[in-house]
Amino acid sequence: MNLLKRWTGLRLREDWDWGVGCQRPTLTLRDPARPGWYLLTVRLQSDTLRSYGLINGHQGRILVSGKRRRRLVHISQRSQATRIEILGLNDDPQIAELRLVPQPWWRVRRLMAAKLLRLHPAYRKESLKQRSFSQQWRDYNRLLSRQNFALVGYDEWIERVEMPALEEQALRNQYTSTDAATNPASVNFAIWLWGQRNNEQQCQRSIYSVSNQTPGPFQILPQEQQLLAADQHTWIVFLQAGDQLAPQALARCSEEIQAHDDAGILYADEDKISPKGRRHSPQFKPAWNPDLLYSDPHYSHCWLIRADLCIKACEAMNADGESPELYGIALEATALCEEDQIFHLPEVLYHRLDQAGEPRSSSQTAHSLQRFLARHGHNAHVSHLRTGGHLIHWPLPDPPPLVSVIIATRDRGDLLRCCLTSLAEHDQGNPPTELIVIDNGSSEPETLHYLAHLEQQENVRVLRRPGKFNYAALNNEAVSLARGELVALLNNDVEATHPGWLAAMAGQALRPEIGAVGAKLLFPDGTIQHAGVLLGIGGIAGHAHKYLAAEEEGYQLRLHLAQNLSAVTAATLVVRKALFEAVGGFDAINFAVNYNDVDFCLRLIKAGYRNLFCPDAVLIHHESKSRGAPTEADTHAQWQRERQAMVDRWGAALEADPHYSPHLSLLEENLSLTLKASTPTARTSALPAS
């Protein structure tokens, strides 16, 4: 074997020195490997579910405990030694498998191409040959990197997604064009030019974009034409001085307005445009997301509002002594509509003039939102965030409601103790609680002793429920026994980090239109574990902004803003008890362990409620520590069954999350662009029918 290894260059687990005493546990190859290409295979066993392997300081790979992970490695002539650093560990891991196998050049190219074609959104079979090997190697490393690189640039997206769609659209219009002047169903548009109208150059730029519109089933009304309060056939197009409409904007909007007779409001995607005409910084938006509009005054600049709704909105603001401006009008007009009357068109139809240093929000926008909420009977306090956007505090009633905190556990009493200690240390400002601990067959003496101690505490109940782990059934029973108006489902491996976290979630959950409320969860290293669930990631669902540093802004500031999402994780979830029971709780038959929280949240949406991500509640999550790393023997078959059950029940929604954009990746959790072509049509916030 030694002769074979010497001849082939093969390196196995016993050929590495394992230094666990250093700050970063490091594997170092005793005898230097020959320069060339290798396939590295690693399988780590650790209580830390995810860590990160860094080969020679720059070739990385995310490692998952119990899972075999591979990547191509290049060892250069300059390499003094071959080492693998393991980042993000919280324990002493075991190396179950480690191989470094030399690879011939032809196989390196084949393996790299297969990985890029399978996972990289910019790669297709026909385009693979157009990219040099060095470009493929760079893209391969970015793909496997822990960092949230944008794998696709906006210029490339315009070239490969938008331009072909516009060409197809133009070709289609040649056969379907009609004369708007003779078409009785044509749409009337009135342009509302707002902002710095004293800047003649900027105004002319905006006016030119209107006069340069592609013909379609619409007509633009003269500025002097009087609008009637009951006019449901004219639409107000808001255009800030200096901004531009895309040439196809009014034609596309008129088509969608004609296709949806009940529409009251339409908004589209947008980007920024430099004074020299270069487009950049796209803002791909979700379907109607009222809580994101509350949080972000820059939710959209591309608004088209039916004239009768716009007039009513202005009248409401005037009656309150407030001068009409775009953000206030958007708030009032959307409040006049049913959710299925508000349409989002996922096409870039609006180009904002790039203005350096433009704030995302201000004390003025916070004041506008405060007055709007007051007019509609909401006793909420709004403040302007230094990082941009609004922080909205929804106060608890006096007296505050009881919250039943429910935690399922099995052994690992150290984790449970850490969780409960953190809750006690950070209970200032939170509503009163009772604690229900569900013991799913603990056997460790230390854990049993701690559970017996808990049973002696006031407002604590321990339910002894041994048997096969069924997370859904355990929590359903605990909710049925809960005395609180609200229930807070917590994993036993979460830690509270600040006072008032539960009050923030409870205040949101008590709003009658809100369903489940989820928290911002961090890995112990301070990176994002959960900031809301995105449907379709990896085929079923993934976590938005995963592995991004907690202090980062995220896509369009969304890491720091309260917003509606299709689902949130049950690792920390607050919901009204009556609502939990009204939709049937968790599905303990089809989703005993996996996806029960996602399924529950989607049923809440079907019942007419909005789920919400609450970034003001921040906890640390040691993700699934007490369950341990999944192994194929005991969980793979169940995971496959529950995965298929999700597809069978929610297949259409998994392919078109209304709270996500069809132009953002379903391969990555970093909200990067995708080059997957789609046929854009206006959509509401309703889940697609399965």
User: Average per-residue pLDDT in the chain?
Assistant: 89
Report whether 509 contacts 574 (CB < 8 A).
Answer: yes
Distance CA 199, CA 191 (A): 17
The reply to whether 173 and 226 lie within a common domain is no
> Between 177 and 31, where is the model more confident?
31
The reply to whether 93 and 160 lie within a common domain is no
Distance CA 90, CA 68 (A): 20
* Tokens encoding 275: 């004074």
Side-chain-side CA neighbours of 498 within 13 Å: the count stands at: 14
The reply to whether 476 and 335 lie within a common domain is no
Question: Which pLDDT score is estimated for 434?
Answer: 97
CB atoms under 10 Å from CB of 128, counted, come to: 14
Q: Quick one: which of 266, 251, 247 has its CA closest to 219?
A: 251
The verdict on whether omega for the bond into residue 399 sits within 30 degrees of 0, i.e. cis, is yes
Which of 379, 414, 430 represents a domain boundary (last residue)? 379
The reply to whether 311 and 425 lie within a common domain is no
Answer yes or no: is pLDDT of 210 > 70: yes
The string of DSSP letters for 591-621 reads: -SSSSHHHHHHHHHHHTT-EEEEEEEEEEEE
Report yes or no on 190 lying in a domain: yes
Provide, rounded to the nearest whole percent, the portion of the chain with pLDDT above 90: 64
Question: Which pLDDT score is estimated for 636?
Answer: 75
Report yes or no on 670 lying in a domain: no
**Counting runs of H as helices and runs of E as strands, what totals does the chain give?**
19, 30
Which of 135, 161, 177 represents a domain boundary (last residue)? 177
The reply to whether 173 and 190 lie within a common domain is no
Answer yes or no: is pLDDT of 173 > 70: yes
Question: Which pLDDT score is estimated for 160?
Answer: 86
Tell me the pLDDT tens digit for each residue of 627-679. 444 445 567 788 889 999 999 999 999 999 999 999 998 877 888 888 887 78
What's the pTM? Answer: 0.84
In sign, the C-alpha dihedral spanning 312, 318, 320, 324 is positive
Question: Which pLDDT score is estimated for 357?
Answer: 77
First-to-last C-alpha distance (Å) of the chain:
57
Report whether 322 contacts 342 (CB < 8 A).
Answer: no
The reply to whether 211 and 348 lie within a common domain is yes
- Who's near 364: CB < 8 A, 6+ residues apart? none
The reply to whether 521 and 411 lie within a common domain is yes
Question: Which pLDDT score is estimated for 113?
Answer: 92
687 DSSP assignment: P
Report yes or no on 57 lying in a domain: yes
The verdict on whether omega for the bond into residue 164 sits within 30 degrees of 0, i.e. cis, is no
The reply to whether 463 and 520 lie within a common domain is yes
Tell me the pLDDT tens digit for each residue of 114-170. 999 888 877 888 778 888 898 899 888 888 875 555 667 888 889 889 999 998 888
493, exposed or middle or buried, with CB in 10 Å at 0-12, 13-18, 19+? buried
Q: Which residues pair with 43 in a beta bridge?
A: 68, 97
Report helix angle 307-319 to 326-336, nearest 10: 110
* Tokens encoding 489: 């489902």
183-197, 303-317, 449-463, 481-495: range with lowest mean pLDDT: 183-197
Report whether 613 contacts 634 (CB < 8 A).
Answer: no
For tokens 């009032």, what's the residue? 332
Answer yes or no: is pLDDT of 626 > 50: no
CB atoms under 10 Å from CB of 126, counted, come to: 7
Beta strands (DSSP E) in 341-398 are 342-353, 381-384, 390-393
Beta strands (DSSP E) in 479-568 are 486-491, 494-496, 514-522, 528-530, 533-535, 541-543, 563-564
CB atoms under 10 Å from CB of 281, counted, come to: 13
CA 129 to chain centre: 33
Report whether 60 contacts 54 (CB < 8 A).
Answer: yes
Report yes or no on 397 lying in a domain: no
* Tokens encoding 298: 């820059």
Tell me the pLDDT tens digit for each residue of 493-542. 999 999 999 999 999 999 999 999 999 999 888 889 999 999 998 889 99
CA-to-CA separations, 280 to 8, 61, 142, 261, 275, in angstroms, rounded? 50, 30, 22, 34, 12
Distance CA 570, CA 505 (A): 13
Tell me the pLDDT tens digit for each residue of 318-361. 999 999 999 999 999 999 999 999 999 999 999 999 887 788 89
* Alpha helix (H) residue ranges in 363-444: 363-375, 413-425
The reply to whether 494 and 368 lie within a common domain is no
Distance CA 517, CA 487 (A): 11
In sign, the C-alpha dihedral spanning 428, 429, 435, 437 is negative
Report whether 391 contacts 360 (CB < 8 A).
Answer: no
Report yes or no on 386 lying in a domain: no
- Who's near 290: CB < 8 A, 6+ residues apart? 334, 564, 610
Q: Kindly report the CATH number assigned to the domain that includes residue 445.
A: 3.90.550.10
390-393 and 381-384 strand pairing:
antiparallel
226 DSSP assignment: P
Q: Kindly report the CATH number assigned to the domain that includes residue 61.
A: 2.60.120
The reply to whether 458 and 503 lie within a common domain is yes
Question: Which pLDDT score is estimated for 21?
Answer: 44
Question: Which pLDDT score is estimated for 22?
Answer: 45
The reply to whether 595 and 495 lie within a common domain is yes
Report yes or no on 395 lying in a domain: no
Report yes or no on 93 lying in a domain: yes
The reply to whether 99 and 154 lie within a common domain is no
Q: Which domain holds residue 141?
A: 118-177
How many domains would you assign to the chain? 4
Report yes or no on 595 lying in a domain: yes
Question: Which pLDDT score is estimated for 109?
Answer: 93
Tell me the pLDDT tens digit for each residue of 550-585. 889 999 999 999 999 999 999 999 999 999 999 999
Q: Model confidence at 16, in pLDDT bands (50, 70, 90)? A: confident
Which of 64, 80, 103 represents a domain boundary (last residue)? 103
